[in-house]
Every structure is written in structure tokens, then in C-alpha cells.
Amino acid sequence: MDRAQKEKVVEELGQIFESSGVVVVAHYAGLTVAEMQDLRARARAAESSVRVAKNRLAKIALEDKPCASMAEYLTGMTVLTYSEDPVAAAKVAEDFAKENKKFEILGGAMGESALDRAGVEAVSKMPSRDELIATIAGMIGAPASNIAGAIGAPASNIASILSTIEEKAA
């Protein structure tokens, strides 16, 4: 890799570190190509990404970034799993680590906060952005449906009473 390519990689990694809601660093030594493809497919499905980069270049890209404290995890054969959603990449990494013992999560960063192994696990258990939006939408819609049910209940009761009287008369 020549200097221009290295500069491009550092720039790309810098953008990843700045724009991602969460970045998870893990060791992947011993994983097969098929297993890495499976990780990438899972990440794509969760709107996350997986990136293998040289640690030295990643450390250069981390300089003067809010998540620079995660540089300590960049040793050995590391892979970065990241997403804009602050939970998606952590969930993908945790689920993959449960099934593949060769995939060892070291830590990561969420915004300016460095995460250790337990921190990544805690983040993965949080509801995702889509789940939160669905919950909030349900909470907003519940009072409206309750009001509609309360307004419609007397009419429904009258209709059932009339149908009962009609059946008795017949």
C-alpha cells in the first residue's frame, strides 16, 4: 500500500469514527472466510458495517477524535463493527460472538465514551432506534384508540340490546 492509499484509508476511518453511533473492536483470529462473510451479511441486515483495517492506520485516524480512548483496543488482528444507530453494531457483534468463540469482543466506543467488554454487552441489550420509535408511536396512539373505543361503546351496547330484543320477538 503506497502513501496515497494509506492517507485515503486514514481519512475513511476518521469519517467512520466521527459519524458512527457505536464502534465495536474485536479480535477475529481463526475465523474462516465464510464466517466473516456471515458477519458482514448480519451487519448489512442490521444497517451496520464491518471493516478490517491496519491498527496503526486506525490509531492515526483516531487522533483528535472524540472516541480516541478506544485506541488501546487496537492490538492484534482486529475488526471494526460500526453503525450510525448507537445499538445496531453492538447487537450484531454480541450475537455473532455468542455463536463464534473465535470472535472476541475487546471493547469500543459510543460517541465520546469508551466501552469495555461489559459496556458493549450493556449497549447491545438496549432497544434499537426503530424499537424505540415503535414504542413511542404505540404510546401516542393508545389514548386515541381508547377514546374512540369509549365513544363507540354506547352505540355498540345499544345495537346488541336491540338485536337481543329482536331475537326474543322472533
- pTM summary value: 0.71
The CATH number that applies at residue 45 is 3.30.70.1730
Indicate whether 95 and 19 sit together in one domain: yes
Under the banding of pLDDT at 50, 70 and 90, the label for residue 166 is confident
Indicate whether 38 and 83 sit together in one domain: yes
Q: What percent of the chain has pLDDT over 90?
A: 27
Reported as a single tens digit per residue, the pLDDT across 130-151 is 777 777 877 776 666 666 666 6
* Statement: residue 122 has pLDDT above 70: yes
Neighbouring CB atoms inside 10 A of 52's CB total: 11
Indicate whether 94 and 71 sit together in one domain: yes
Indicate whether 139 and 69 sit together in one domain: no
Indicate whether 7 and 50 sit together in one domain: yes
CA dist 9 → 21, 28, 81, 108 (Å): 20, 20, 16, 19
Q: Domain count for the chain, please give it.
A: 2
* Statement: residue 155 has pLDDT above 70: no
Sheet holding 78-83, edge to edge: 49-52, 78-83, 22-27, 104-110, 113-115
Please answer whether residues 67 and 114 qualify as being in contact, where contact means their C-beta atoms are separated by less than 8 angstroms.
yes
* Statement: residue 66 has pLDDT above 80: no
Please answer whether residues 93 and 120 qualify as being in contact, where contact means their C-beta atoms are separated by less than 8 angstroms.
yes
Indicate whether 58 and 131 sit together in one domain: no
Indicate whether 94 and 134 sit together in one domain: no
Please answer whether residues 66 and 111 qualify as being in contact, where contact means their C-beta atoms are separated by less than 8 angstroms.
yes
Indicate whether 85 and 107 sit together in one domain: yes
The domain of 111 spans 3-126
Positive or negative, the CA dihedral 103, 10, 23, 81 is negative
Indicate whether 26 and 70 sit together in one domain: yes
Considering only residues 166 and 102, tell me which one the structure prediction assigns the higher pLDDT: 102
Indicate whether 108 and 144 sit together in one domain: no
